């Protein structure tokens, strides 16, 4: 079974610190937590993470690593049974996708990748939910088989996104670098 500490270390090494890139759709970010994401949280969640003022760029700049880790645990890790993924590297990679592109999109990529390695779409729906069928199939596939398919599928998603949203083209190389870094 996988653990959160390894998965969050993997993510934080890829997210970095404070960034205020105008080309970033999420706006100002710190430890990968974006201004847009924080604003989408309800007031109760904001208070739970120690945010008591209206959210702005300063809120993001002042976000501590501990707050970011807590956000990732509550808003990502605990929303899906990531800990039930047997291989830690596979878990880390999928968790990183969930953080970077959203949970549902990441799990859909996992499900479609499982179709590719299983040569069948019959068993798993691409519903964006890390349910028992997806976990069962994921956990019986050899990591050396699923990881290259996940990488290729993730890269294809980023390329398509950059094609559909020209404002995101500037981010494509960074996304691909992150995608290819296991």
Domains in the chain, start-ordered, CATH in brackets? Answer: 4-79 (no CATH), 88-180 (1.20.141.10)
Enumerate the β-bridge partners of residue 34. 29
So what's the pLDDT on residue 121?
Answer: 84
The pLDDT of 90-112, averaged and rounded, is: 97
Ramachandran assignment for 102, one of left (phi > 0), alpha (psi -120 to 50 degrees), beta (any other): left
**Full-prediction pTM beyond 0.85?**
yes
How far is the C-alpha of 123 from the C-alpha of 121, rounded, in Å? 6
Between 23 and 107, the more confident residue is 107
Q: On the CB side of 170, how many CA atoms lie within 13 Å of its CA?
A: 6
The pLDDT of 1-24, averaged and rounded, is: 91
pLDDT digits (tens, 9 = 90+) for 117-154: 988 888 899 999 999 999 999 999 999 999 999 999 99
The pLDDT of 149-167, averaged and rounded, is: 95
Lowest-pLDDT choice from 16-20, 99-103, 136-140 = 16-20
CA 111 to the chain's CA centroid:
15
pLDDT value at 23 more than 80:
no
- H/E run at residue 34: strand 33-34
Closest CA to 82 of 65, 67, 99, 66: 99
Indicate the average pLDDT of the chain: 94
Ramachandran assignment for 27, one of left (phi > 0), alpha (psi -120 to 50 degrees), beta (any other): left
| Residues of the chain above pLDDT 70, percent | 100
């Amino acid at each position: 079974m996988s653990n959160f500490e390894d998965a969050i270390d993997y993510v934080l090494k890829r997210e970095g610190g404070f960034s205020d890139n105008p080309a970033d759709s999420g706006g100002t970010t710190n430890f990968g937590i974006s201004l847009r994401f924080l604003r989408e949280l309800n007031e109760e969640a904001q208070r739970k993470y120690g945010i008591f003022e209206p959210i702005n760029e300063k809120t993001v700049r002042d976000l501590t690593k501990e707050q970011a880790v807590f956000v990732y645990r509550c808003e990502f890790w605990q929303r899906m049974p990531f800990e039930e993924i047997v291989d830690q590297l596979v878990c880390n990679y999928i968790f990183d996708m969930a953080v970077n592109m959203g949970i549902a999109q990441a799990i859909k990529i996992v499900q479609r990748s499982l179709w590719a390695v299983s040569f069948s779409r019959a068993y798993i729906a691409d519903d964006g939910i890390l349910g028992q069928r997806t976990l069962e199939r994921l956990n019986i596939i050899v990591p050396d088989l699923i990881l290259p398919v996940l990488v290729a599928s993730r890269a294809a998603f980023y390329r398509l996104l950059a094609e559909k949203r020209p404002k995101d083209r500037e981010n494509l190389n960074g996304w691909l670098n992150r995608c290819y870094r296991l």
